């Protein structure tokens, strides 16, 4: 898939709600960090070392038939779009040579080379499915281990440039859409319970309530030392299921005791997305979140499960800058796209 297919209006949406608890658990991802024993970490390595690392990885994974994107050849806006879609980390966008991104399956299969570590293996899917993703990551890990000397310490485990990755090098991440928990002010309780279990639970955009754009939250493991990979993903997945169940109960309570006020919130969100002439990113995501919840709860029909993912992708400043060719009036353009997107389904 050419790089422009990840950037334009036909690009894969950031999230689609199509699996299991997919209307609440948007996406699961497994990351495995690995380094070659014979080279310095990327932030210390010379260009010659980085080139050798990239060449080595390219040769090992050649049979996976992944598309390679050289990061230093992307424009700043193109890089921002990939970061907004969580295909690449923002730390990967500084334009240094010999940083490559290998992609497959519409950006759900990712291998980043010379990011913060030599290799970051990532597999994603909609909804929950950590063990499937972990199995895929281990297969790539086995390929690397068979062909190269991977940095490993008998005491600490796999070595990394980041202390938080030392051990298994595993991070299991899920992104959840929690409008009912946000509406009923129960997010802090969820975060407190997660912390007691050794998990991280944070807003996708910021710690303060005013930054909870779209009611999106990230759940992940905190520790990578002393816990087998299977135990880690099981803990994250089980807690994600508990949070999803709590969100569902919250929606049931709202439907039973706050039905009219909730319907008012949903239909106001609909009006904002259909008729606004200027729309901030936060306004777009918050309204899309409310509308998606209204659709999930049967308050409004015709809105598909992919709607929130569409609005998320199409409302990002990076996407709009790329579409407009300059900064332009992105808030006006965002409103036009939101109007067009919702009318596509509500006509």
Distances (CA, A) of 94 to 70, 88, 287, 323: 12, 12, 33, 22
Q: Which helix (H) or strand (E) holds 26?
A: strand 25-34
Instruction: Examine the domain organization and report whether 216 and 327 are in the same domain.
Output: no
Q: What is the pLDDT of residues 50-65, one digit of tens each?
A: 999 999 999 999 999 9
- Residue 227 in any domain: the answer is yes
How far is the C-alpha of 341 from the C-alpha of 126, rounded, in Å? 21
Q: Does residue 68 form part of some domain? A: yes
Same domain? For 106 and 210 the reply is yes
Range of the structural domain that residue 270 is part of: 258-346
Output b/e per residue, 160-199; b: 16+ Cβ within 10 A: bbeeebbbbbbbbbbbbbbbbbbbbeebeebbeebeeeeb
Answer whether residue 3 is part of any domain: no
Q: Which tokens sit at 161?
A: 């440039």
In the beta sheet, which residues pair with residue 168?
none
Q: Do 148 and 28 reside in the same domain of the chain? A: yes
Residue 94 pLDDT exceeds 90 = no
Split at pLDDT 50, 70, 90, the class of 46 is: very high
Domain harbouring 137, CATH code: 3.30.590.10
The domain boundary residue, chosen from 197, 229, 253: 253
29 part of a folded domain: yes
Assign 82 a pLDDT band (cuts: 50, 70, 90).
confident
Q: What is the pTM of this model?
A: 0.89
Residue 31 within a domain:
yes
pLDDT score, position 312: 81
How would residue 11 be classed by pLDDT, with cut points 50, 70 and 90?
low
Q: Could you say which of 200, 229, 253 is where a domain stops?
A: 253
How many structural domains is the chain composed of? 2
Domain boundary among 207, 229, 253: 253
The answer to whether residue 7 is domain-embedded is no
**H or E segment to which residue 109 belongs:** strand 109-113
Q: Whole-number mean pLDDT of the chain?
A: 88
Which residues, listed in sequence order, are joined to residue 100 by a DSSP beta bridge?
A: 70, 113
């Amino acid at each position: 898939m050419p790089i422009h297919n990840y950037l334009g209006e036909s690009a894969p949406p950031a999230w689609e709600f199509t699996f299991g608890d997919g209307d609440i658990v948007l996406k699961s991802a497994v990351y495995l960090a690995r380094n070659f024993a014979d080279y310095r970490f990327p932030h210390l390595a010379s260009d010659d070392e980085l080139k050798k690392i990239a060449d080595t990885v390219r040769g090992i994974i050649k049979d996976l038939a992944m598309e390679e994107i050289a990061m230093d050849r992307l424009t700043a806006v193109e890089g921002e779009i990939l970061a907004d879609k969580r295909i690449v980390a923002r730390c990967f966008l500084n334009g240094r040579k010999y940083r490559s991104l290998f992609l497959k399956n519409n950006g759900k299969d990712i291998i980043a080379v010379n990011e913060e570590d030599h290799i970051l293996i990532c597999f994603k899917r909609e909804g929950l499915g950590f063990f499937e993703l972990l199995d895929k990551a281990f297969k790539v890990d086995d390929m690397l281990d068979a062909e190269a000397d991977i940095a490993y310490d008998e005491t600490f485990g796999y070595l990394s440039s980041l202390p938080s990755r030392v051990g298994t090098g595993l991070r299991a991440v899920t992104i959840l859409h929690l409008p009912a928990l946000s509406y009923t002010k129960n997010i802090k309780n969820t975060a407190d319970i997660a912390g007691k279990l050794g998990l991280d639970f944070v807003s996708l955009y910021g710690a303060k309530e005013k930054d909870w754009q779209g009611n999106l939250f990230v759940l992940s493991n905190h520790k990578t030392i002393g816990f087998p990979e299977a135990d880690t993903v099981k803990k994250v997945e089980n807690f994600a299921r508990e949070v999803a169940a709590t969100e569902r109960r919250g929606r049931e309570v709202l439907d039973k005791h706050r039905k009219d006020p909730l319907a008012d919130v949903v239909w106001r969100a609909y009006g904002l997305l259909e008729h606004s002439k200027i729309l901030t990113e936060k306004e777009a995501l918050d309204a899309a979140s409310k509308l998606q919840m209204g659709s999930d709860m049967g308050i409004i029909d015709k809105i598909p499960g992919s709607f929130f993912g569409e609005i998320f992708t199409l409302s990002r400043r990076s996407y709009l800058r790329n579409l407009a060719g300059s900064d332009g009036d992105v808030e006006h353009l965002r409103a036009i796209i939101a109007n067009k997107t919702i009318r596509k389904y509500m006509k």
